[in-house]
C-alpha cells in the first residue's frame, strides 16, 4: 500500500491555497513538459523590439505559454524580485543573448503551423517568425510575434512563495532551506486526484577531504553549504533563483564565493555549480569525495532505486529491515538513476567536466537505514584524486514523473540528446543544457 501524506497545515499552505493546489495538480495530471530554450539571436527580425510586446501563438493565433528571460552582457539573468533584484540591468528589448522558453508539448504539430495560413495576420509592421522543434520522431512548431492583438496565455505552471521558499508545479513540490540552494523537503504528485506524496526529507550532502598527505581528514555536510538567494524571477514556464554560494570552512572562514543559478521547470530542476580550482588539486589534498543523495522518507517504502548505465546497472527496493550499505563503483557522470513506484517518482542525472574517476572510488550509494533521520539514502559518490587547476562544471538534474509510462526516462533522454530547434536563421540544439553565465565565462557575483 502506498503511504500518502498531503501538505500538513499550517506548516504549508493555508486551507484556501491548499485546495487550490489540489485543483492545480489535478488540472495538470497529463503534464509532459519538455522545456525548449532558444536564444534571441535566432529571431533576427524581432531583435530590438520590446519584450513586453512579444507573444507566442499557434497557427490560429491562440496564445501559447512562454517567457523571455533577459540576460545581461556579462551573463547574468535579469531577475525582478528579491532584496537584490537587478531588473534595472535589462533594457526591455529582445537582445541576442536573451532566452525564450516554451514547452514543446504546448506547440502544435508542424503540419498545423504553416506560413500561408497566418500570413494574413502580418500587417501594421508586425512580425511573425516561426520556431520548429524536431525530436527526431516528432516535429512541433509555433510563432513568436510582436503582434499585441494576440493575448498573452493565462496558463502558468510555476507557483513560488519566496517567503517560505516553496515551489509548486503540476509534477512536484520543493521547499528550499533558508540560506541553502538545496531542498529540505520535496514530493511528487501521486497520480489522479489523490494529492501528493512527501517523498524526501532533505538533500543529504557529504564532503570529505584528505589533507596533509592524507593525515588530516576534513568533513563537511549540507549545513556547510551556504547560499543566499537574493533575487529571483518566477515566470509561467520556469523559476530562476540566483544565489551567492560559499562553503563555510569553520572558525568563521568562508570559501570563495560563487554565483549559482537554480533553474526550475514544470517537470525538472537544474542546478549548475561552477567550481574554480586556483591550483592543482593534489598540491593540497590527497583525495576528496562528494556524496549527494536524497533522504527518502517512509512514504518511499514502495519505491525502487535503479541505476541505468551501459556499464553499470543496479536495482534495490527501499522496503526491508536488514541494514544495507552499498557503493556500486562506476562513473556517475552521465549515468542516470531513478526512484520509481510504477510510473511515479523521479530521475537524477549528474553531468560534469571533471576528470573521470570511475576506477578510483566513484559510484552510486544505497544506504538503509539513512545516515540522517529518514529511511534510506539513494544517490551518488563523486571521487576526486587529481584535478588540474581551472574551472569546472558540476550540474545536477532532477526530473519528475509526468504520469505517463516511461516519462522520467524520456525526460532524461531529452537532456542528453536535446531536440533540434530551427528558425529562419538555421538550426541549433535546444539550449536547455546551457546556462546564461556559461556563454560569457562570467562567474562574477553581484
Q: Higher confidence at residue 213 or residue 158? A: 158
Q: Which three cell numbers stand for residue 429?
A: 540544439
Closest CA to 54 of 116, 129, 115, 160: 129
**Binning pLDDT at 50, 70 and 90, where does residue 371 land?**
confident
Q: Higher confidence at residue 18 or residue 274? A: 274
Identify the pLDDT of residue 141. 93
Identify the pLDDT of residue 274. 72
* Strand (E) or helix (H) holding 19: helix 15-27
Give CA separation, 144 vs 70, 133, 215, 269, 438, in Å.
Answer: 16, 13, 60, 25, 25
Terminal-to-terminal C-alpha distance of the chain? 50
Q: Which three cell numbers stand for residue 306?
A: 535503479
Least confident of 65-74, 251-260, 382-391: 251-260
Q: How far apart are CA 424 and CA 416, in angstroms?
A: 25
How far is Cα of residue 154 from the mean position of the Cα atoms in its chain? Answer: 23
Is the pLDDT reported for residue 6 higher than 50?
no
Is the pLDDT reported for residue 387 higher than 80?
no
Asked if 99 and 38 touch (Cβ cutoff 8 Å), the reply is: yes
Q: Tell me the per-residue pLDDT of 304-338, one tens digit each, with 9 for 90 and over.
A: 999 988 888 899 998 888 888 999 888 899 999 99
Identify the pLDDT of residue 24. 32
Is the pLDDT reported for residue 29 higher than 80?
no
Count CA atoms within 13 Å of residue 227 on its CB side: 22
Backbone φ and ψ for 76, nearest 5 degrees, come out as: -95, 135
Q: Which three cell numbers stand for residue 254?
A: 568562508
Q: Tell me the per-residue pLDDT of 109-139, one tens digit each, with 9 for 90 and over.
A: 987 655 544 554 555 678 889 999 998 888 9
Q: What is the mean pLDDT of the chain?
A: 81
**Binning pLDDT at 50, 70 and 90, where does residue 3 land?**
very low
Q: How far apart are CA 197 and CA 319, in angstroms?
A: 16
Helix, strand or coil, per DSSP, at residue 101? strand
Q: Which three cell numbers stand for residue 297?
A: 522518507
Q: How far apart are CA 248 and CA 207, in angstroms?
A: 12
**Binning pLDDT at 50, 70 and 90, where does residue 106 land?**
very high
**Pseudo-torsion of CA 235, 138, 399, 439, nearest 10°?**
-60
**Binning pLDDT at 50, 70 and 90, where does residue 219 land?**
confident
Kind of pairing between the strands at 268-277 and 258-264 = antiparallel
Residue whose C-alpha cell reads 592524507 in the numeric block: 214
**Binning pLDDT at 50, 70 and 90, where does residue 18 land?**
very low
Give CA separation, 178 vs 162, 163, 261, 404, in Å.
Answer: 10, 10, 16, 34
Q: How far apart are CA 212 and CA 157, in angstroms?
A: 50
Identify the pLDDT of residue 166. 96
Domains of the chain with bracketed CATH: 35-145 (no CATH), 159-400 (2.70.98)
Peptide bond into 29 cis (omega under 30): no
Give CA separation, 384 vs 161, 257, 293, 349, in Å.
Answer: 37, 21, 17, 18
Identify the pLDDT of residue 279. 65
Identify the pLDDT of residue 225. 87
Give the pLDDT mean for 418-446. 74
* Strand (E) or helix (H) holding 190: none
Identify the pLDDT of residue 214. 59
Residue whose C-alpha cell reads 536535446 in the numeric block: 418
What does DSSP assign to residue 140?
Answer: E
Helix, strand or coil, per DSSP, at residue 358? helix
Q: Tell me the per-residue pLDDT of 248-306, one tens digit each, with 9 for 90 and over.
A: 877 666 766 777 889 999 999 998 777 766 666 666 666 778 899 999 998 999 999 99
Asked if 31 and 402 touch (Cβ cutoff 8 Å), the reply is: yes
Identify the pLDDT of residue 394. 84
**Pseudo-torsion of CA 198, 160, 107, 417, nearest 10°?**
-60
Helix, strand or coil, per DSSP, at residue 18? helix
Is the pLDDT reported for residue 348 higher than 90?
yes
Identify the pLDDT of residue 12. 34
Count CA atoms within 13 Å of residue 127 on its CB side: 15
Amino acid at each position: 500500500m502506498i503511504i500518502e501524506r498531503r501538505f500538513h497545515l499550517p506548516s504549508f499552505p493555508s486551507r484556501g491555497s491548499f485546495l487550490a493546489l489540489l485543483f492545480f495538480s489535478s488540472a495538470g495530471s497529463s503534464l509532459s513538459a519538455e522545456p525548449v530554450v532558444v536564444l534571441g539571436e535566432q529571431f533576427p527580425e524581432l531583435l530590438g523590439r520590446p519584450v513586453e510586446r512579444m507573444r507566442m501563438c499557434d497557427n490560429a493565433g491562440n496564445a501559447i505559454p512562454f517567457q523571455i528571460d533577459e540576460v545581461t552582457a556579462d551573463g547574468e539573468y535579469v531577475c525582478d524580485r528579491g532584496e537584490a533584484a537587478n531588473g534595472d540591468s535589462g533594457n526591455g528589448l529582445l537582445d541576442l543573448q536573451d532566452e525564450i522558453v516554451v514547452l514543446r508539448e504546448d506547440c502544435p504539430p508542424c503540419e498545423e503551423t504553416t506560413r500561408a495560413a497566418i500570413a494574413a495576420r502580418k500587417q501594421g509592421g508586425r512580425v511573425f517568425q516561426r520556431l520548429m522543434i524536431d525530436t527526431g520522431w516528432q516535429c512541433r512548431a509555433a510563432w513568436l510575434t510582436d503582434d499585441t492583438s494576440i493575448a498573452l496565455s493565462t496558463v502558468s505552471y510555476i507557483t513560488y512563495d519566496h517567503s517560505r521558499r516553496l515551489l509548486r508545479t503540476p509534477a512536484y513540490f520543493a521547499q528550499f532551506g533558508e540560506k541553502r540552494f538545496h531542498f529540505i523537503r520535496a514530493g511528487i504528485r501521486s497520480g489522479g486526484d489523490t494529492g501528493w506524496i512527501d517523498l524526501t526529507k532533505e538533500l543529504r550532502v557529504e564532503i570529505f577531504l584528505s589533507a596533509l598527505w592524507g593525515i588530516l581528514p576534513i568533513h563537511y555536510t549540507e549545513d556547510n553549504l551556504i547560499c543566499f538567494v537574493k533575487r529571483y524571477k518566477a515566470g509561467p514556464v520556469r523559476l530562476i533563483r540566483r544565489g551567492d554560494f560559499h562553503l563555510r570552512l569553520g572558525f568563521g572562514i568562508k570559501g570563495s564565493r560563487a554565483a549559482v543559478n537554480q533553474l526550475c521547470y514544470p517537470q525538472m530542476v537544474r542546478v549548475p555549480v561552477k567550481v574554480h580550482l586556483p591550483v592543482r588539486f593534489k598540491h593540497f589534498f590527497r583525495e576528496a569525495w562528494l556524496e549527494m543523495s536524497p533522504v527518502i522518507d517512509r512514504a518511499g517504502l514502495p519505491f525502487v532505486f535503479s541505476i541505468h548505465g551501459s556499464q553499470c546497472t543496479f536495482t534495490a527496493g527501499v522496503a526491508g529491515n536488514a541494514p544495507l550499505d552499498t557503493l556500486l563503483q562506476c562513473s556517475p557522470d552521465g549515468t542516470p538513476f531513478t526512484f520509481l513506484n510504477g510510473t511515479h517518482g523521479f530521475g537524477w542525472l549528474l553531468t560534469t567536466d571533471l576528470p573521470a574517476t570511475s576506477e578510483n572510488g566513484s559510484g552510486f550509494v544505497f544506504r538503509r537505514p539513512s545516515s540522517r533521520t529518514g529511511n534510506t539514502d539513494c544517490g551518488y559518490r563523486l571521487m576526486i584524486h587529481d584535478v588540474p587547476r581551472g574551472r569546472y562544471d558540476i550540474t545536477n538534474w532532477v526530473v519528475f514523473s509526468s504520469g505517463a509510462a516511461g516519462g522520467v526516462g524520456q525526460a532524461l533522454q531529452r537532456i542528453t540528446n536535446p531536440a533540434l530547434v530551427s528558425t529562419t536563421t538555421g538550426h541549433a540544439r535546444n539550449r536547455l543544457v546551457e546556462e546564461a553565465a556559461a556563454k560569457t565565462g562570467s562567474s562574477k557575483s553581484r
